[in-house]
């Protein structure tokens, strides 16, 4: 498959400054998250799974919540799903280090159940703050639960894929959660199609928006 990498170009000194400042802001927010007891998940967590990656990423990848392996390691998308995500990102021309990866909830719901409304309400301000710091050009949302949570709808995954949806000033694309690809490997082609749509969009609209922002 043709590579369609659109990672960080060579950073100019102004961008290096912005990247350093984003790292600092994210570190401050992480410290705040580690102390968070705003919902009941704080009582059962081993680790706050804050998020990681490029603090100045063009693409942010968002899942719903940490699972058991993430709770144990403190890192998002580890274990089998994470390994497959890395592989699929590579097939699409990305490496994990150039992206910013996190979840909507920072603490693991017991038994990997879906996030509850009050947990989402408590945790979404943290996600928004993270995104305001990183300021990605595109957000890739992984899975129906994460997309329903972010868009506050009950649409099927099929109804949310294949387009760019605005949310709180960000442009978002939706695709399958890597766990779904583990269960159904035939979905890999559709996953790559979704990433192609995202990069095509960024290659036209996103880069123009970026250029306009840099002019201002
Ligand atoms: S899930 Fe979010 S709101 Fe709840 S305790 Fe963890 S960091 Fe705080």
pLDDT for the residue numbered 19? 79
Structural domain includes residue 4: no
Rounded Cα gap, residues 69 and 103, in angstroms: 14
Rounded Cα gap, residues 162 and 194, in angstroms: 6
CATH code at 76? 3.40.470.10
What pTM was computed for the model? Answer: 0.89
Name every protein residue with a CB atom under 6 angstroms from any ligand 1 atom: 33, 36-39, 41-42, 48, 105-107, 119, 122-123, 126
Q: How much distance in Å is there from the Cα of 33 to the middle of ligand 1? A: 7
Rounded Cα gap, residues 78 and 65, in angstroms: 12
Span 180-198, average pLDDT: 96
Rounded Cα gap, residues 178 and 168, in angstroms: 25
Residue owning tokens 């940490």:
66
Contacts of 113 (CB under 8 A, 6+ apart): none
Q: Which helix (H) or strand (E) holds 60?
A: strand 59-63
Mutate to test the pocket of ligand 1, among 40, 51, 105 (most ligand atoms within 8 A of CB): 105
| The ligand 1 atom nearest the CA atom of 36 | 8
110-122, pLDDT tens digit by residue? 998 999 999 999 9
pLDDT for the residue numbered 203? 79
Q: How many domains does the chain have?
A: 1
Mean pLDDT of the chain: 90
Span 61-83, average pLDDT: 96
pLDDT for the residue numbered 18? 74
Structural domain includes residue 200: yes
Structural domain includes residue 3: no
5 versus 105: the higher-pLDDT residue is: 105
Q: How much distance in Å is there from the Cα of 130 to the middle of ligand 1? A: 14
Structural domain includes residue 37: yes
Q: Which domain holds residue 111?
A: 14-215
For ligand 1, atom 3: residue with the closest CA:
123
One-character DSSP codes across 133-177: HH--SEEEEESHHHHHHHHT----HHHHSSS-EEETTEEEEEE--
Structural domain includes residue 7: no
Structural domain includes residue 5: no
Mutate to test the pocket of ligand 1, among 34, 41, 51, 112 (most ligand atoms within 8 A of CB): 41
Structural domain includes residue 54: yes
Structural domain includes residue 199: yes
């Amino acid at each position: 498959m043709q590579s369609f990498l659109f990672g960080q170009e060579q950073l100019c000194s102004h961008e290096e400054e912005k990247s350093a400042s984003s790292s600092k802001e994210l570190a401050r927010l992480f410290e705040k998250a580690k102390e968070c007891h705003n919902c009941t998940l704080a009582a059962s967590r081993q680790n706050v799974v804050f998020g990681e990656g490029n603090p100045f990423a063009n693409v942010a990848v968002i899942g719903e919540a940490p699972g058991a392996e993430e709770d144990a390691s403190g890192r998002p998308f580890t274990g089998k799903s994470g390994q497959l995500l890395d592989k699929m990102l590579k097939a699409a021309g990305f490496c994990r280090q150039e992206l910013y990866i996190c979840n909507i909830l920072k603490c693991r719901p017991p038994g990997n159940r879906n996030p509850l409304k009050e947990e989402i309400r408590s945790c979404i301000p943290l996600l928004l703050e993270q995104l305001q710091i990183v300021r990605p050009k595109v957000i890739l949302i992984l899975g129906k639960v994460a997309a329903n949570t972010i868009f506050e709808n009950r649409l099927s995954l099929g109804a949310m894929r294949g387009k760019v949806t605005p949310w709180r000033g960000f442009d978002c694309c939706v695709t399958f959660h890597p766990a779904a690809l583990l269960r159904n490997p035939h979905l890999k082609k559709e996953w790559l199609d979704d990433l192609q749509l995202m990069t095509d969009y960024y290659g036209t609209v996103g880069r123009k928006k970026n250029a306009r922002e840099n002019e201002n």
